Structure 1
Amino acid sequence: MTAQQQQIPEGFRQDAKGRLVPEDQIKEIDKVRDELVLAIVDRATELRDQLRDFKADTFSEIQAFVETSAQEYDVQLGGRKGNVQLLSFDGQYKVVRAMQDLITFDERLQAAKALIDECLTEWVSDARPELVQIVQDAFRVDQAGKIRTGEVLGLRRRFNIQDKRWLKAMDAISDAVQVTGSKSYVRIYERDANGHYRPISLDIAGV
């Protein structure tokens, strides 16, 4: 029990507004609802803890296997980075460990945007509408208000434009990239009857 729960007198319950309500004044349906919610939360937190342990154990076991495999060739691996794909002997299952850098842009992205805007302004009569749309979309923020890094970085490889301002803008985008951390995840797949690998979902919404 939490300290807050220990302070609640016997025969009372605390409501959402922090008020103490006598048990005998609470409707039976409200008590049943409360019991249902707490039972679901208990199971959910237990599953969350199991998933957290499963993830930690899986990463550790994959890393240990990778190091064991490397020893066969007398290779010492540095660090824990790198994508790894492991297949079961019969090819029915696949486990993928992936590492993804978390990327943001510094103030030089604004310089790149200004240079690109200059190009588009000059080219507007000749530029293909889809080029203008793609560039504009790349610099729009997502629902969280963040620049979509993949779209911006994609500008560098999608168009072969030799205008000096455009090339300078692409250099500014490259210089603006800041790696702020990394995100790691494990995905597990099962092969279906058609030979396609389908993810084994560990997301409650995907089960």
Structure 2
Amino acid sequence: MKMTEEMYRIDRDGNKIATKNIRPQELLEDQLVQALAEQAEKLSLTLAEYKAHAFTEVLTLRDVLRENYQAKRGGKKGNMTLYTFDGSYKVEMAHADRIEFGPDLEVARALIGEYLDSVTTGAGDELRTLISSVFRMGEDRSAKVGDVLSLLRWDIQHPKWVDAMAAIRNSIRVYDRASYIRVYRRDDAGAYHAIPLDLAKVPVASATHYTTTPEA
């Protein structure tokens, strides 16, 4: 007898497994994950559509203000902040460069090593440990951008350090530009709080809907 789709499931290795041979708990798990994944796909598409719509509307308003009212809106790099008339909401359109480091970063690392070698022990050892953590490579074999750039704020006038900072600046490569739309709600105290569109930051709507005891 030919097996129909209802009579088997495909496992992770691409094998056909008869449904009757699958444990009930695995079928329940499969059903739940499949349903949640389908909902997540729809939400992701909705967010993508919202982002495209929001950018289009904000840019359209910017052009209307420029053409009809000779009002220049938008700051550095094209960033914009818009408010409702009562100030209860604001929308920010922001652009941020994504950067990585070129070969000059290794030059900077070597120069910082030479600087540390010239520093006496004690405080120098602590500084060496801190610098090592800054240059620790991630899983993709790249240093964390924020950690490396933080070194540029240190006020150290030693020639080796100054040269190292110049090497870091020379190593910076802009490889992409990310664009964001953020929406904020003002509270009673006048402070603005982002309306979370990141699933991890969205609060559970009601505690009564989440009764499972979390694992320790």
Query: What interval of TM-score do these two structures reach, taking the shorter chain for normalisation?
Result: 0.7 to 0.9
Aligned to 2:196: 201
1:182 aligns with 2:170: no
1:73 aligns with 2:70: yes
CA contact (8 A) 1:8 1:20 kept: no
Shift of residue 146 of structure 1? 2.4
Are the structure 2 counterparts of residues 46 and 170 from structure 1 closer, same or farther at C-alpha, using a change threshold of 3 Å?
same
State how far apart, in whole Å, the 2-side matches of 1:47 and 1:8 are: 34
Pick one of 167, 172, 177 that aligns with 1:172.
167
Moved more, 167-176 or 136-145: 136-145
Moved more, 44-53 or 152-161: 152-161
Shift of residue 59 of structure 1? 1.2
Pick one of 88, 103, 118 that aligns with 2:99.
103
1:121 aligns with 2:117: yes
Percent same amino acid at aligned positions? 32
1:135 aligns with 2:140: no
Pick one of 69, 86, 90 that aligns with 1:90.
86
Partner SS state of residue 187, structure 1: strand
CA contact (8 A) 2:82 2:91 kept: yes
State how far apart, in whole Å, the 1-side matches of 2:4 and 2:181 are: 47
Q: Which amino acid aligns with 2:163?
A: K
Please, what TM-score do these two structures have when normalized by structure 2?
Answer: 0.77
1:119-154 residue CA offsets vs partner (Å, 9 max, x unmatched): 111113485666444433322234654212222222
Partner SS state of residue 85, structure 1: strand
1:15 aligns with 2:21: no
CA contact (8 A) 2:9 2:19 kept: no
State how far apart, in whole Å, the 2-side matches of 1:156 and 1:149 are: 12
State how far apart, in whole Å, the 2-side matches of 1:26 and 1:96 are: 50
- Aligned CA RMSD, in angstroms, stands at 2.9
Q: Which amino acid aligns with 2:134?
A: A
> Structure 1: which 5+ runs fail to align?
1-6
Are the structure 2 counterparts of residues 46 and 8 from structure 1 closer, same or farther at C-alpha, using a change threshold of 3 Å?
farther
CA contact (8 A) 1:98 1:184 kept: yes
Are the structure 2 counterparts of residues 74 and 62 from structure 1 closer, same or farther at C-alpha, using a change threshold of 3 Å?
closer
Are the structure 2 counterparts of residues 109 and 45 from structure 1 closer, same or farther at C-alpha, using a change threshold of 3 Å?
same
CA contact (8 A) 2:10 2:16 kept: yes
Q: Which amino acid aligns with 1:9?
A: T
Shift of residue 198 of structure 1? 1.3
CA contact (8 A) 1:8 1:14 kept: no
Aligned to 1:159: 155
